[in-house]
Amino acid sequence: MTKMTKLKAISGVTAALLASGGGAAWAQGAPAGDAANGAKLNSMCIGCHGIVGYKTAFPEVYSVPKIGGQHAAYIVKALQAYKSGERKHPSMVGVAASLSDKDMADLAAYYSAGPGKVASK
């Protein structure tokens, strides 16, 4: 499978999930993350991805995608792709390299909960 078709397949699934209004099918397969721990790990991400639900980085330098409210399985997949080198953005490759599978699941649980759903400690 080429990179492009893979990307298309992923966005197709995302669109289908959005259309059906939920991610039940994926949620079952996704590792269970600890959102409270994700909130702590989030200090590594906040400088670029901003407050959950916001897009605060400098768009004239690089448009940082909004990840607050993103589906957990998508976030884990994206982080694994940076770690494996399948995705190549240098900042994210550097960040993802230091994350364990559990870290990724925890961060995904935190971000997918969306703004205001996880108390920040």
Residues that bind ligand HEC (CB under 6 A): 41, 44-45, 47-49, 62, 64-65, 67, 75, 78-79, 87, 89, 91-92, 95, 107
Residues in the chain, total:
121
Q: How far is the CB of 5 from ligand HEC (least distance, A)?
A: 17
Q: Which is nearer to ligand HEC, 19 or 96 (CB)?
A: 96
Question: Cβ of residue 25: shortest distance to ligand HEC, in angstroms?
Answer: 20
Tell the smallest beta-carbon distance from residue 107 to ligand HEC (Å): 4
Question: Closest CB to ligand HEC among 11 and 20?
Answer: 11
